[in-house]
Chains A and B, each alone.
Chain A
Amino acid sequence: AQTVTQSQPEMSVQEAETVTLSCTYDTSESDYYLFWYKQPPSRQMILVIRQEAYKQQNATENRFSVNFQKAAKSFSLKISDSQLGDAAMYFCAYRSVGGATNKLIFGTGTLLAVQP
């Protein structure tokens, strides 16, 4: 079974600075998807960025980028030029390719605080 681990329960960053959130996962599959979701106090899960395991190039979405290390099974999220609106809970998630359901498997989350 696949597992996702986020070892940083809480992180803090100064506005305009850069922060990196860590995520590791365990799987025996060779092809899969990885995601970072943001959950503000409104509770809605918002997709931040996704990475396809077969792609070596790291995904980037504006100020958000990932460092995907497939051999190490590591998938960290870097937020550049942090803004107050980035404050939220961030979840790393795994999804199989071609599975019967393609359900998401989540880590326990990292609560990010942004200091003005």
Chain B
Amino acid sequence: GAGVSQSPSNKVTEKGKDVELRCDPISGHTALYWYRQSLGQGLEFLIYFQGNSAPDKSGLPSDRFSAERTGGSVSTLTIQRTQQEDSAVYLCASSADRYSNQPQHFGDGTRLSIL
């Protein structure tokens, strides 16, 4: 597709379950970012990928959060043993490379609700 695609659009799950969120970046974009947007808050950086490697995981809030990227393309963000505070919109962005003059293009996000 022409833009960043995220799935599912919405996810409702019970506390304690694991969830997987998917991001399909713009074709050819080597840099991929995950952000989290909690209610009434700005976006909070989670993790950055360059190709398949993740040189910056500094924003992951706990060891329940992990992410991978395969083939330099699709990325999956996994949250294990979900808690209610994990409820948020998770946004993915990609850019042609990591250099500052390349804008980040965002997907529509996944709204995660933990019951």
Residues of B within 8 A of A43 (CB): 89, 91, 108-109, 111
> Which of B91, B101, B111 lies in contact with A45, CB distance below 8 A?
B91
Sorting the interface of chain B by its residue count into under 10, 10 to 19, 20 to 34 or 35 or more gives 20 to 34
| Given known A-B contacts A42-B108, A106-B42, A108-B42, A100 and B91 have beta carbons under 8 A apart | no
Q: Which of B18-26, B63-71, B73-81, B92-100 contacts A (4 or more CB under 8 A)?
A: B92-100
Contact A100 B56 (CB under 8 A): yes
Tell me whether A14 is interfacial, beta carbon within 8 Å: no
Contact B100 A103 (CB under 8 A): no
Interface residue tally for chain A (C-beta within 8 Å): 31
Other A-B pairs beyond A45-B43, A52-B101, A100-B55, 19, CB < 8 Å: A4-B42, A33-B100, A35-B103, A43-B89, A43-B111, A44-B106, A45-B106, A91-B42, A99-B100, A100-B98, A101-B33, A101-B55, A102-B95, A102-B98, A103-B33, A103-B56, A106-B43, A108-B41, A108-B42
Smallest CB-CB separation from B49: which chain A residue? A101
Contact B41 A97 (CB under 8 A): no
CA distance A100 to B91 in the complex (A): 20
CA distance A107 to B44 in the complex (A): 9
